[in-house]
Amino acid sequence: MSNGFKGLRLHNTLTRTKEDFVPIDPRNVRMYVCGPTVYDFAHIGNARPVIVFDVLYRLLRQLYGADHVTYVRNITDVDDKINARALRDFPELPLNEAIANVTRKTADQFHKDVAALGTLPPTFEPRATEFVQPRADGKADMITLIQSLIERGHAYEAAGEVLFDTGSMPDYGQLSKRNLDEQQAGVRIAVDAHKKNPGDFVLWKLSSPEEPGWDSPWGRGRPGWHIECSAMSAAYLGEVFDIHGGGLDLIFPHHENEIAQSRCAHGTDVMANYWLHNGFLQVEGRKMSKSEGNFVTINELLETEKFGGRNWPGDVLRLAMLMTHYREPIDFSVRKLEEAENTLRKWKRAADMAPDGATPVPAGIVDALCDDLATSSAFQLMSHLASQAAGDENEEAAAALKSAMLFLGFELQAAEVDEEAIAKAIAERLAFISAKDWASADRIRAELLEQGVQLKDGKDPATGERVTTWEVRR
């Protein structure tokens, strides 16, 4: 680890405690995060883990060196809806190629959207379809993993499916803290007759002649949901790696079943040493859903006026997402976006005073993030630097702020001035002055000053009327 920084501590979902982070190999710190299912455009809830784990990725690179961190984020393109569309639209092509055609547009849009959010590309971004069957390069694949589970007595064939036998794993449920007895007692519907246990889950299912599928020892079929991540993480990070991340909603069943598959296939005590999960997201105080009318994609926020009557810059979305600690629930709102935009405007104005040249990332920023990604503490320090830079024209503070912004993925160019909005605000202020509403007039002046716009009042020499001009205050 680089000298001068406190040790990294992360809240481990597996133990429900904050722990010192000790990598398996400091020369190759390894992290896996569940990525998008590229059936439709990514929504704002999908953006949260992308942004959160981008911050962790940047922090690990800072602590251990950019060349010593491997970050894998998968693309799920194995999905019955995707497969059916591929078969319908491209019947003449091999299945993997047909699926690639179907998902290319959605995956390209995802990459464009998350780049606008200031995120770095992961080291590897494998597609699930590339890891179904045994590979020429010998990397882990789904069929081989399933075979291993059968041979080790952890999976069985029944009714055209291959199922994981949860009863074969005594400590199944460690991550979610659910045991098999609780699952048995909580069953409210009839258990499929071919399952040994209610919690047994599908590893492989057969495809009908009308459904797409891959050849396997159990017949032509397709993988279950969970096995893909076990295969792709092992392919790039090994049987045991450092960090596995994702949303809170993935703890059960997805991550629980990943752990079961990986540990039982490889005979290991753990799959990953640290499990991190970001909290849920609401939109304007309600669960996001199309039926509620508050479902919004990243692209809609960036490119349309659907949310708040305007589009929003990617770095504003990024800051708004990070203002709430990653493990806490977040209420994504217009008000939060406006707050983030005002904060960024101040930061950019202050950072614009920095001299040319690189400055080390302030140790206080790194130390804050080393405390389980305490972004709010880091942002408080950045706002303090911005105040120092603006108040005293302190180039040292400006340079420190600039390096912190670059480190955390924020754009540095000065915020654009909205001349039309300024003119409207000045007109409103003049109307308040005419009405002798001095408090409202002073409020508008103060709000503009916070945005870096300095008002100057004077008189028209010919008429004697009040004239207000403005300038950008650097």
Give the mean model confidence (pLDDT) for residues 124-135.
95
Tell how far CA 436 is from the center of its chain. Answer: 49
* Crossing angle for the helix pair 314-322 and 334-351, to the nearest 10 degrees: 110
Burial class (CB in 10 A: 0-12, 13-18, 19+), 284: middle
pLDDT tens figures, 233-288 = 999 999 999 999 999 999 999 999 999 999 999 999 999 999 999 999 999 999 99
Does the CA dihedral 281-285-287-291 come out positive or negative?
negative
User: Percentage of residues in the chain with pLDDT exceeding 70?
Assistant: 94
Neighbour-count burial of 22, counting CB atoms closer than 10 A to its CB (0-12 exposed, 13-18 middle, 19+ buried):
exposed
- Range in 309-323, 340-354, 405-419 the model is least confident about: 405-419
Between the two ends of the chain, the Cα-to-Cα distance in Å is 38
Task: State the average pLDDT over residues 406-431.
Answer: 83
With a CB cutoff of 8 Å and minimum separation 6, the contacts of 426 are: 444, 455, 468, 470
Segment holding 321, helix H or strand E: helix 314-322
Structure tokens at 135: 């590979």
Residue 190: the pLDDT is 44
Q: To the nearest whole percent, how much of the chain has pLDDT over 90?
A: 70
pLDDT tier at 231, thresholds 50, 70, 90 = very high
Output the CA–CA distances (angstroms, integers) from residue 86 to 67, 205, 222, 227, in the order listed: 38, 18, 14, 21
- For residue 309, the Cα-to-chain-centroid distance in whole angstroms is 25
DSSP letter for each residue of 123-186: SB--BGGGGSS--TT----HHHHHHHHHHTTSEEEETTEEEE-GGG-TTTTTTTT--HHHHHHT
Is residue 427 pLDDT above 60, yes or no? yes
Per-residue pLDDT reduced to its tens digit, 367-393: 999 999 999 999 999 999 999 998 877
What gap in Å lies between CA 238 and CA 128, rounded to an integer? 17
- For 51-101, give the secondary structure using H, E and C: HHHHHHHHHHHHHHCHHHEEEEECEECCCHHHHHHHHHHCCCCCHHHHHHH
Q: Which two tokens stand for residue 44?
A: 């704002």
Contacts of the segment 384-391: beta carbons below 8 A, 24+ positions apart: 385/350, 386/346, 386/347, 386/349, 386/350, 386/351, 387/350, 389/350, 389/351, 389/353, 389/354, 390/346, 390/349, 390/350, 390/353
The string of pLDDT tens digits covering residues 13-67 is 999 999 999 999 999 999 999 999 888 889 999 999 999 999 999 999 999 999 9
Question: Is 441:433 a contact under the CB 8 Å cutoff?
Answer: yes
Task: Dihedral sign for Cα 339, 342, 346, 348, please.
Answer: positive
Taking the C-alpha atoms of residue 448 and residue 125, their distance in angstroms, rounded to an integer, is 44
Q: What is the Cα–Cα distance from 469 to 86, expressed in whole angstroms?
A: 60
Distance of CA 159 to the CA centre of its chain: 38
